[in-house]
């Protein structure tokens, strides 16, 4: 797939939240299935929002720079369930998932807050049920970020969700569709923090919620903790002081068959472990979503920098 094709999909990106599962038509997945370069190509996919385009491209470029494995990209493919279906059907070999999303949305398990327990249990279940391997986390979490305007937080002196609770009945919430539906979304948050008298949320495209909040159309939204727009629009993330949300560590998910086909791949992905922290991911997201830079070039610069580090083992 050419850079031009990848860039086009990136410009259509909508930020849908941490691993959210809006299902696009399967015709898109089937159509993209025709793009495979050859039987040995490793097919790297991503969900359909900017951070995922960045991560899919980053993993693809990293593999290309450190191995001779041919890589085919199927970025901006769809939501969680589209990508999960594609990888279990053999249409993808690898994509980056978030542990809490895998645990709650795919495995349909109750919310848990301890990161290691969620990672270990998810990894074991994915291997047993789907023949998929979770490699080591990339180094950051992308959790739901409950956001308000800085002026609101400052005037009321609030920094946590518990402190915001008395004001919620007077606020207009605005959320993407899935946050109102998911078990780890609005319903559970209401029960945990006692928001029962809250106004029924406005549902809108998640990418529009940031501007709606900044412009005063809504008073509280659920964004992503790694979004560059948080700082750009001077928004404040309220602390989840009751630890409602599960951990959402970003982690590559790989078909075990692909690891058998390319034995060097496991070590290559392990060299990405822990290399991207929250501030790194926010900077990458900001470069694409705020500065409007081409995500392929943004990733290329990151990979070039990583290849200058000792032990990177880049080929060229």
Domain 3-141+247-307: which CATH number of 1.10.1670.40, 3.50.50.60, 3.40.190.10, 3.20.20.120 = 3.40.190.10
Helices (H), 131-239: 150-156, 161-164, 177-181, 186-193, 206-214, 229-232
Dihedral through CA 165, CA 224, CA 96, CA 102, nearest 10? 20
According to the model, what pLDDT value does residue 38 have?
62
Q: 23 or 221: whose pLDDT is higher?
A: 221
pLDDT digits (tens, 9 = 90+) for 80-111: 999 999 999 999 999 999 999 999 989 999 88
Band of the pLDDT at 316, cuts 50, 70, 90? Answer: low
For residue 302, give the H/E element and its range. Answer: helix 295-307
Listed in order, the ranges of the chain carrying CATH 3.40.190.10 are 3-141+247-307
- pTM here is 0.80
pLDDT digits 0-9 by tens, 25-45 = 333 433 343 344 566 899 999
Spatial neighbors of 150 by CB under 8 A, at least 6 apart, are 234, 235, 236
pLDDT tens profile 106-144:
999 988 889 999 999 999 999 999 999 999 999 999 999
What residue spans in the chain does CATH classification 3.40.190.120 cover? 144-237
Is residue 55 scored above 90 in pLDDT?
A: yes
* Residue 302 clears pLDDT 50, i.e. is over it: yes
Give domain 144-237's CATH superfamily.
Answer: Osmoprotection protein (prox); domain 2 (3.40.190.120)
């Amino acid at each position: 797939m050419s850079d031009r094709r990848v860039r086009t999909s990136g410009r259509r990106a909508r930020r849908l939240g941490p691993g959210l599962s809006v299902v696009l038509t399967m015709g898109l997945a089937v159509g993209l299935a025709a793009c495979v370069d050859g039987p040995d190509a490793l097919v790297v996919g991503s969900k359909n929002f900017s951070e995922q385009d960045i991560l899919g491209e980053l993993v693809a470029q990293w593999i290309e720079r450190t191995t001779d494995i041919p890589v085919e990209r199927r970025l901006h493919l769809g939501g969680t369930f589209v990508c999960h279906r594609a990888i279990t059907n053999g249409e993808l070999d690898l994509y980056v998932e978030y542990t809490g999303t895998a645990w709650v949305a795919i495995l349909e398990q109750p919310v848990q807050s301890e990161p290691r327990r969620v990672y270990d249990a998810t990894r074991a279940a994915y291997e047993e049920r789907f023949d998929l391997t979770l490699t080591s986390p990339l180094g950051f979490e992308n959790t739901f970020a409950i956001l308000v305007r800085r002026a609101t937080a400052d005037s009321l002196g609030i920094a946590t969700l518990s402190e915001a609770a008395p004001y919620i009945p007077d606020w207009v919430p605005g959320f993407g569709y899935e946050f109102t539906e998911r078990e780890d979304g609005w319903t559970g948050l209401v029960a945990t923090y006692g928001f029962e008298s809250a106004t029924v949320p406005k549902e809108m495209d998640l990418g529009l919620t940031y501007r709606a909040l900044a412009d005063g159309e809504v008073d509280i939204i659920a964004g992503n903790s790694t979004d560059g727009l948080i700082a750009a629009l001077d928004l404040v993330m309220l602390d989840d002081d009751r630890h409602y949300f599960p951990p959402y560590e970003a982690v590559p998910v790989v078909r075990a068959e692909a690891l058998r086909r390319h034995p060097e791949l496991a070590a290559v992905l392990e060299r990405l472990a822990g290399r991207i922290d929250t501030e790194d991911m926010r900077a990458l997201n900001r470069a694409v979503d705020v500065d409007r830079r081409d995500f392929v070039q943004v990733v290329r610069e990151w990979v070039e920098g990583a290849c200058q580090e000792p032990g990177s083992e880049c080929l060229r």
